[in-house]
Amino acid sequence: MISPVSKILGKYRLDASAPCRMDSGGTWDIKAMALPLERIDPVTINIAVSLRTRVVLSSFKEGRVKISSQGFPHVEEAPFEGLPFESPYGLFFAAISYFGYHGLQAEIYSDSPVRSALGGSSTALVALIKALSKLGVILGQRPLSSKEILRLGYHLEDAVSPGKCGIQDQAAAVYGGVNLWTWHYADRSSPFLRQRLLDGRGQKEMSKHFLLAYSGQSHVSARINRAWIHEFLSGRTRAGWIEVNDIVKRLAKEIHAMKWNHAAHLLRQEMAIRRDITPDALTHLTESLIGQAEEVGCGARFTGAGGGGCVWAIGQSSRIKLLKEIWARTLASTKGGRILECVVEPKGAI
C-alpha cells in the first residue's frame, strides 16, 4: 500500500535515534563467512556507545521523497516511483519504499564523525526504520518489534549491498548495551542469538575502562570487506579467522566477569592476528594508536573494517586515563582527530 504522509507530518514532526558501536570479532557477522562455518558458532562482541544517530521526519511534496545528512553536502530528492536505490542515500530510499510512504523528508544527524567505522549508516537505517514505524502507528498500524526492525534493517542493507554487509551494526543499534552475538543464518526464524554480557551496573563500570578515539581519517568499509571475504573464501586466511573467533568467545567471558586486564590481554591477541589477516585495516596513525595502548598495558583495535575511522581500547581505569593523555597528544596535530567522549549506551533504538 502506498500512502501520502505530507499532511500527517505537517501535524507531527517524528524522530527516532539509535546508538553507534565498538566491536570485537566484527566481519564474522557477514553471511558469506558465518554460514559455511556455523559449526564453530561464529560470534561478535559489540558495545553500544552514547554517540547516537537521529533521524527526523517532516512534511514534503506529495509524491516525492527528500533525504539529507549532517556532514554530507549532497541532498537528494526523487519521485517516489523512481527512488534511486543505487544513490549515496539508496539504502534509506529503499527503506522508505518498503513502507510505501511519500511526501516526506528524512534528515539524519549524528554524534559520531562521518565514515568513522562506528556502524554509522546501519545505525541511521535503524533509526529511520524506527521513525517510519512510529509513523505507521499514527496510520493505524502496529509498531515493529525490535527483532522485526533488526531483520528488516539487515535484509534491506544486504539487498542493496549484496554479500558485503553483516548484521552486527544493526543489532547494536536496535538493542544497545554490551552483547555477544552468535550468528546462525541457517535458522530462518532467528539468524542470531543474543547474550547480554553486562547489566546496568556493569555497563556503568565498563564505561570507566574503555577509550574511543577518531583518527581523523574516514574509511570505506565495502572495499575492505570485499577483500577480506575473498581471502576467507579462498581459504588463505580462514585459520586466522577461526582463531579470532575463539579469542572473542574468551573475551566475552572476561568482559562478563569485568576482568579488565584479562580483557585487554585478549584484545591484544585478537589484534596480533588481525595484523596478519587484515593488514589493510591499519593506517600508520591507527597502528601507532594501538601500539601506544599496548605499551601502557591496554588492549586496542580498530572499529568495524578499519582503514581509518576509530580505534578503541580497554584496560584498567588508571591505564585508560594515562592512555587518554597519550592519545590526545598524538591526535592534536591530526585534522579532525580527537578523543570521542562517550559511555556505554544501555538503550537501543528509541
- pLDDT tens for 80-93 read 999 999 999 999 99
Please indicate, yes or no, if residue 68 is contained in any of the structural domains.
Answer: yes
Is-contact 304 118, C-beta < 8 A? yes
| Average pLDDT value over all residues in the chain | 95
Please indicate, yes or no, if residue 30 is contained in any of the structural domains.
Answer: no
Burial class for 188, CB neighbours closer than 10 Å (0-12, 13-18, 19+): exposed
Please indicate, yes or no, if residue 303 is contained in any of the structural domains.
Answer: no
Residue 163 has pLDDT above 60, yes or no: no
DSSP state of 346: -
Of the listed ranges 214-228, 241-255, 260-274, the one predicted with least confidence:
214-228
Cβ contacts of residue 143 below 8 Å, gap of 6+?
133, 134, 136, 137
Please indicate, yes or no, if residue 119 is contained in any of the structural domains.
Answer: yes
Residue 164 has pLDDT above 80, yes or no: no
Q: Which residues pair with 183 in a beta bridge?
A: 192
Instruction: Give the residue numbers spanning the domain of 122.
Output: 3-22+49-175
Residue 180 half-sphere exposure, CB side, CA atoms within 13 Å? 18
Tally the domains of the chain.
Answer: 1
Residue 79 has pLDDT above 70, yes or no: yes
Which among 344, 348, 349 has a CA at the least distance from the CA of 50? 344
pLDDT digits (tens, 9 = 90+) for 132-157: 999 999 999 999 999 999 999 999 99
Stretch 288-306: mean pLDDT, rounded?
Answer: 96
Q: Which residue has the cell 527512488?
A: 83
Q: Which string of DSSP letters, residue by residue, matches 46-81?
A: EEEEEEEEEEEEEE--TTEEEEEETT----EEEEGG
CATH code where residue 146 lies: 3.30.230.10
Stretch 221-243: mean pLDDT, rounded?
Answer: 90
Please indicate, yes or no, if residue 237 is contained in any of the structural domains.
Answer: no
Predicted pLDDT at 161: 79
Please indicate, yes or no, if residue 115 is contained in any of the structural domains.
Answer: yes
Please indicate, yes or no, if residue 130 is contained in any of the structural domains.
Answer: yes
Please indicate, yes or no, if residue 128 is contained in any of the structural domains.
Answer: yes
Predicted pLDDT at 73: 84
* C-alpha to C-alpha distances, 157 to 86, 91, 95, 123, 284, nearest whole angstrom: 12, 6, 9, 11, 31
- Give CA torsion, residues 243, 249, 250, 254, to 10 deg: 150
Q: Which string of DSSP letters, residue by residue, matches 109-135?
A: EESSPTT-SSSHHHHHHHHHHHHHHHH
Stretch 152-175: mean pLDDT, rounded?
Answer: 90
